[in-house]
Amino acid sequence: MITLNPDAQMNGSFIRTLRHPKINEPILIAGFPGLGEIGNIVAKMLIDLLQAELFAELYSSAFQDFVFIDKNGICRPPRYEFYDVRRGRDLIILTGDGYPSFDDIPGHYEICNDILDFIEKFACKSIITIDGAVSSLSQEKIYVSATSKEIVSQYVEKGATLYRNKRIIGLSGLILGLAKKRGFEGACLLASTPGYRRDRKAAFRVYRFLSEFLGNTSYL
Amino acid sequence: MITLNPDAQMNGSFIRTLRHPKINEPILIAGFPGLGEIGNIVAKMLIDLLQAELFAELYSSAFQDFVFIDKNGICRPPRYEFYDVRRGRDLIILTGDGYPSFDDIPGHYEICNDILDFIEKFACKSIITIDGAVSSLSQEKIYVSATSKEIVSQYVEKGATLYRNKRIIGLSGLILGLAKKRGFEGACLLASTPGYRRDRKAAFRVYRFLSEFLGNTSYL
Amino acid sequence: MITLNPDAQMNGSFIRTLRHPKINEPILIAGFPGLGEIGNIVAKMLIDLLQAELFAELYSSAFQDFVFIDKNGICRPPRYEFYDVRRGRDLIILTGDGYPSFDDIPGHYEICNDILDFIEKFACKSIITIDGAVSSLSQEKIYVSATSKEIVSQYVEKGATLYRNKRIIGLSGLILGLAKKRGFEGACLLASTPGYRRDRKAAFRVYRFLSEFLGNTSYL
Amino acid sequence: MITLNPDAQMNGSFIRTLRHPKINEPILIAGFPGLGEIGNIVAKMLIDLLQAELFAELYSSAFQDFVFIDKNGICRPPRYEFYDVRRGRDLIILTGDGYPSFDDIPGHYEICNDILDFIEKFACKSIITIDGAVSSLSQEKIYVSATSKEIVSQYVEKGATLYRNKRIIGLSGLILGLAKKRGFEGACLLASTPGYRRDRKAAFRVYRFLSEFLGNTSYL
């Protein structure tokens, strides 16, 4: 007898919702694993300082083929975590340790679209991604690219430097491009960093910039 | 609670139609990214000189995992663009900056077939792809390969050199092969080029050849 | 005429069930191909010594593109085999020579989930995976990582060493992580091994540990 | 407006049937591209000498991303061709120039299963694949591996050497393994060859062996 298993429980991504937060039109702030770990560090700072709470996890068959073992010997697969903040303007903070294989381009697209599908349910219309951009040590800049001139201007007014005629590689850029196509607005903030190590200083620069930026648009 | 997202919004390609052009039995002229950027340059020249207008965009999860940032800091994912021309014989001009990963062979097939599916709706039955072929500096040839002897002959009569006992690697050749299987007719024009740089001169040679060729078959 | 074959007989994995064993809430013990072949050797020892019987085979389109030829010249594709043991606590022993390509991350996820789907039918709620962990020659340890603190403790009490702040690469770890997400409990036992050769000694160490461990929880 | 193209015309393989041959329970003889081109040469010799006729073509999105250009400048994508022979025992001869990418393991499985699906329609129950096996120059052997001891014996009696404790890499072996699982019987004949060049001599050895073998089982 042959048993077919056409409906394997995880083909692509799936999102485990732990709780249904009462947030409305939140801004998504996403810090993916990346250059100098700036995205992850900024997300962590926001989570800690704003006392954001975990409400959903995303797992994907495009993530790495290993599990993480924590300090207690407990295993878990790579994942992203969604945290919510309800203060003035609602936020969803997204971070985690999953990453699609370098060569798996469809995996990159799939993860971005799964995230966008999910945040759309909360009427989220705006996203900010955080990453690093390689540059010489002496520079301490925050670059910005966005989905429209208007949004670019808002960030440039606050001191960000226009990022132009470049590419943003990986999820931080791709999700922004796909979001734009789907009618979201958004920006990618890139801290200049030498890039060869965990750059807490650059991350703190973005954190400060972002706090001030959000503060001036009815947040904090 | 587990939320499955089986219908991610982009699995494979999708085409955003901006406008429904009134074209009938157009010829598709496709200039993909490739050797010496000849395909892209020729397409750009045709678009500019014939005042072709954008009417559709193709996005694909097989394209690269980055976004392009333009001179204004605005991001967008890689894509192809379809332009229409209504002069004598109608044309669709296809060009763009998307490209499947070198190793993603199914992605190559998928993109070619998605393009053919789309242009079939306009009763398109004929395609011309433009690319480069590496050769020594002193040569200034235009090579041709096609879906039938009759079509090869039409181009050879106009001065093109038969391209034979070779392979054409990438989208320019593959779309022609798949088009043939589906009942389209078509040709691939390859400008000889040293190949290591943007070759505007070779592109101009193809442009001139193509203008004359189309002119003599009721075009221009 | 065009004949489409959309329902190719093996897209993903399929499991050939040879027999329906009367087992209830069995523990799955999985020894995949891996470091020092420890997983495979331990599984083989359990099968031989407990007279376990083959009842199902798993084939996957993610396995290698070759067939094995046995000593009689008979060919077969790579596969996993499921054996059942009915003694005190029921067991399913899983082992074999299939392995997904290093780069095929979705293939890793698919195989793990197909295995979990299959063993769920027998009300299996607990899994133990066996593998090796590279370490210096002089060490003779058994490391453990598990799905919860309680389970880790059970193994540590019996002499296993906590494996922590690490990753477990490949199927042994991934299936445990995915199992946890789906509500299974389980552990991964890793024998320290120099890693460059078939390590029967390390395998025997795990076998002895495991026999004693299972014996004390109503087994053997 | 967004136009989705979920039903691209070629996802996986498809087979274009040119004619419906009246063959019954044919043996499939498959010569895929491979070591020393032995499979392809033997298939070509059988086609020529038995005046086999083309009746179907297989195209696959797993094949290479290029088109072949023949001596007349005509392009076509890589493909396999099915030829039929009606003499005593009916035959299907399969050969061609398509090959899945080295890394695309699911592509290998898909192509094998699509071929098996197709030949099953003709009540084909037996397959013979032809390939090369690297060995020193002085050896002139024909190795055999098969789906059962009985079949191995038939070939060994006729002078073939048992191929054992090995692997057969690629389509020649994999299709045999998958065929066995689906209830076909079959064998793989491997000519010893130095492997670094087109080996017509080794191919002729297999051709002679195969002709005699088939002749003695009611063929030729």
Contact partners of B by the rule of 3+ C-beta pairs under 8 A? A, D
For chains A and B, count residue pairs whose Cβ atoms are closer than 8 Å. 123
C103 and A103 within 8 Å at the Cβ level: the answer is yes
D112-150 tens-digit pLDDT: 999 999 999 999 999 999 999 998 767 889 999 999 999
- What pLDDT score was predicted for residue B13? 87
Residue C70 token pair: 């046995």
Mind telling me how many Å the CA of B153 is from chain A's nearest CA?
A: 41
Distance between CA B168 and CA B129 in Å, rounded? 11
Nearest to D50 by CA among D92, D16, D79, D81: D92
Query: Which H or E run contains B60?
Result: strand B53-60
Q: Which residues contact A167 (CB under 8 A, 6 or more apart)?
A: A173, B66, B67, B68, B69
pLDDT value at position A11?
60
Q: Which of D17, D173, D182 sits opposite C9 (nearest CB)?
A: D182
Cα–Cα distances in Å, from D178 out to A87, C178, D172, D183?
60, 29, 11, 9
- Please enumerate in sequence order all residues whose Cβ is within 8 A of that of D120, keeping only pairs 6 or more positions apart, or say none: none
Alpha-carbon gap: C65 to the closest alpha carbon of chain A (Å): 20
Which 8-state DSSP code applies to residue B74? B
Sheet holding A166-169, edge to edge: A166-169, B66-69, B75-76
pLDDT in the model for residue B195: 78
C6/D196: higher pLDDT: D196
Contact B69 A170 (CB under 8 A): no
From CA C155, how far away is CA C207, in angstroms rounded?
Answer: 14
Distance in angstroms (rounded) separating the CA atoms of residues A95 and A131: 12
User: How far is residue D60 from each of residues B105, D13, D64, D139, measured CA to CA in Å?
Assistant: 10, 4, 9, 36
pLDDT tens figures, C156-182? 999 999 999 999 999 999 999 999 999
Using a CB-CB distance cutoff of 8 angstroms, which residues of chain A are in contact with residue C189? none
Residue D48 pLDDT greater than 60, yes or no? yes
Confidence of residue B10 (pLDDT cuts 50, 70, 90): low
Q: Is the pLDDT of residue C6 over 80?
A: no
Q: Which of C60, C39, C46, C61 is nearest to C172 (CA)?
A: C39
Residue C165 contacts residue C212 (beta carbons within 8 Å): no
Contacts of C16 in chain D (CB under 8 A): 181
Q: Which tens digits make up the pLDDT trace of C113-156?
A: 999 999 999 999 999 999 999 987 678 899 999 999 999 999 99
Mutate to test the interface with B, among D1, D4, D5 (most CBs of B within 10 A): D5
pTM: 0.86
Q: What is the CA radius of gyration of chain A?
A: 18
CB contact at 8 A, D115 and D149: no
D170 near D129, Cβ under 8 Å?
A: no
Chain D residues touching chain B at CB-CB below 8 Å? 1-6, 8-11, 16, 59, 61-77, 100-101, 103-104, 107
Residue B114 has pLDDT above 70, yes or no: yes
Interface contact flag, B63 A13, Cβ < 8 Å = no
Interchain CB distance below 8 Å, C70 and D110: no
Rg of chain D, C-alpha, whole Å: 18
Q: Give yes or no for residue A74 having a pLDDT over 60.
A: yes
Say which amino acid occupies C110.
E
Q: What is the least distance, in Å, from the CA of C111 to any CA of chain D?
A: 13
Q: How far apart are CA A166 and CA A164, in angstroms?
A: 5
Q: pLDDT tens, B43-62?
A: 999 999 999 999 999 999 99
Pick the residue from chain A with its C-alpha nearest to C100.
Answer: A65
In chain B, residues with a C-beta closer than 8 Å to the C-beta of D8 are 12-13, 110, 113-114, 117
Query: Residue B11's pLDDT is what?
Result: 59
Render pLDDT for C64-103 as a digit per residue (tens, 0 to 9): 999 999 999 999 999 999 999 998 889 999 999 999 988 8
The reported pLDDT for the residue numbered D70 is: 94
Partner-chain contact C9 D180, CB within 8 Å: no
Residue, of C110 and A2, whose pLDDT is higher: C110
> B15 to chain A: nearest residue by CA?
A181
List of chain B residues whose C-beta atoms are within 8 Å of the C-beta of residue A166: 69
Which residues on chain D place their C-beta less than 8 Å from a C-beta of chain C? Answer: 12-17, 103, 105-106, 108-110, 113-114, 116-118, 144-149, 152, 162-171, 173-174, 176-178, 180-182, 188
CA-to-CA distance for B175 and B30, rounded, in angstroms?
10
β B80-85/B161-162 pair status: unpaired
All residues of chain A having their beta carbon less than 8 Å from the beta carbon of residue B14 are none
Sheet holding A185-193, edge to edge: A161-162, A142-146, A185-193, A126-134, A27-31, A91-96, A80-85, A53-60, A13-17, B2-4
Percent of chain B with pLDDT over 90: 82
Chain centroid to CA C175: 9
Tell me, what's the pLDDT at B136?
74
pLDDT of residue B137: 67
pLDDT of residue D87 exceeding 90, the answer is no
Q: What percent of chain A has pLDDT over 90?
A: 83
Per-residue model confidence (pLDDT) at position A132:
95
Picking from B126-135, B137-146, C105-114, which range would have the lowest pLDDT averaged per residue? Answer: B137-146
∠ CA B98-B100-B102, nearest 5°, is 135
Give me the pLDDT at residue B207, please. Answer: 96
* pLDDT(A113) > 90: yes
Residue range A123-165, pLDDT digits in tens:
999 999 999 999 876 788 999 999 999 999 999 999 999 999 9
Q: How confident is the model at residue C11 (pLDDT cuts 50, 70, 90)?
A: low
- Residue to mutate among C4, C61, C69, with most D CBs inside 10 A, is C69
Q: What confidence score (pLDDT) does residue D128 get?
A: 98
Chain B hits for D101, Cβ within 8 Å: 103, 105
In one-letter notation, the amino acid at residue D175 is I
Distance from CA of B140 to the nearest CA of D (A): 19
**Does residue A166 have a pLDDT over 80?**
yes
Q: Which of D73, C70, A214 is nearest to B148 (CA)?
A: D73
What residue of B is the nearest CA neighbor of D100?
Answer: B105
CA distance B156 to chain D (A): 10
pLDDT number for residue C102: 84
Q: What is the ipTM of this complex?
A: 0.84
Of residues A23, A59, A25, the one with CA closest to residue B3: A59
* For residues D98-115, average pLDDT: 92
Q: What is the pLDDT of residue C10?
A: 53
Whether D75 and B13 lie within 8 Å, measured CB to CB: no
Q: How many CB atoms lie within 10 A of CB B25?
A: 11
Q: Which residue has the higher pLDDT, D7 or D71?
A: D71
Position B8, amino acid: A
Give the C-alpha separation, D194 to D173, whole Å: 19
> What pLDDT, in 10s, does the model give residues B77-110?
999 999 999 988 899 999 999 999 888 999 999 9
Residue D10 pLDDT: 53
pLDDT score recorded for residue C118:
96
Residues forming beta bridges with residue D129, ordered by sequence position: D30, D188
Which chains neighbour A (Cβ–Cβ under 8 Å, 3 or more pairs)?
B, C
The residue among C58, C110, C116, C145 with the most chain A CBs within 10 A of its CB, best to mutate, is C145
* Nearest residue in chain B measured CA to CA from A14: B4
CA–CA gap between residue D93 and residue D127 (Å, rounded): 10
Q: Answer yes or no: do B117 and D9 touch at CB < 8 A.
A: yes
